[in-house]
Amino acid sequence: MRMTKKGENKEMKNGLKDREFWGEFVPVFNDYLSDLLELRNKYRVNKYTDIKELYNSTGSNQATQDFTKSVAGVFEDVVELVATNNDMDYVACASDGYDAVVNDEEVEYKLTMGLGNSWTGNKKSVKVPSHLLVKMDVENNKISKLFVGLVNLDECEDTSWYSNGDEKKGNYTSLRFHKNDINNVTCVYGSLKPNRIWCGVELEDLNY
């Protein structure tokens, strides 16, 4: 991927749908991962060279979830920073149901620091239809694989936020994509692979 240098003049007409946006996002987020690892190591007896290894070593059966929670806030900060640096119409919002207003559209962000074919929500409140969906894998303290997708769930026929597939909203909900809705997802990095019923999520390798 081509990394965008800070201060480089770019016109991002499509905002979050531009690969150039994420080309600028990645090195900034990588810097944060390095800073986070340095801070955690400062107060640990056992030192680590990779932030993912640190979380995997905790013995928690929810290592990916713990990792995701620890970086989610800064993920949103870096997205806002890149948007601001590129003069995008962007307003960050700590709202119940969406995370930002991008070009006058309310958008919910979902991030997970790992593999798998779904995203998890933790509230049964109604969410806005427009979603930014991101998956990352980390190796050597850098993003090694990335999926970035955007979708308006109102345009999907067989995909929505539900728990246990029973169409009843619960405290923990899951989002995965039915193969019938694959063309409703804009994949900026990575892709969706249609399987028998549900799509697999394939992350794109990043080359530095």
pLDDT in tens, 125-178: 567 999 999 999 999 999 999 999 999 999 999 998 875 455 555 556 889 999
Question: Could you tell me if residue 184 is inside a domain?
Answer: yes
Sequence-ordered list of residues with C-beta below 8 angstroms from that of 12, at least 6 positions apart, any chain: 18, 20, 21, 86, 88
How far apart CA 73 and CA 61 sit, in angstroms, is 22
Q: Taking residues 50-69, report their average pLDDT.
A: 87
Position 68 in a domain: yes
Is the pLDDT score of 79 beyond 90? yes
Residue 201: DSSP 8-state: E
Q: In which element (H, E) is residue 42 found?
A: helix 19-42
For the chain, what is the domain count? Answer: 1
- How many residues appear in the chain? 208
Residue type, 201: V
On whether residue 8 sits in a domain, the answer given is no
Q: Report the amino acid identity of residue 37.
A: L
Q: Does the residue 10 lie in any domain?
A: no
User: Is residue 199 a part of any domain in this protein?
Assistant: yes
In-domain check, residue 65? yes
Asked whether the predicted pLDDT for residue 9 surpasses 50, the reply is no
Task: Give residue 125's domain range.
Answer: 15-205
In a domain, 134, yes or no: yes
Max CA pair span of the chain = 52
Query: How far, CA to CA in Å, does 108 sit from each of 80, 127, 154, 158, 201?
Result: 13, 7, 13, 19, 19
**Is residue 129 included in any domain, yes or no?**
yes
The model's pTM is: 0.89
Fill in the amino acid letter for 108. Answer: E
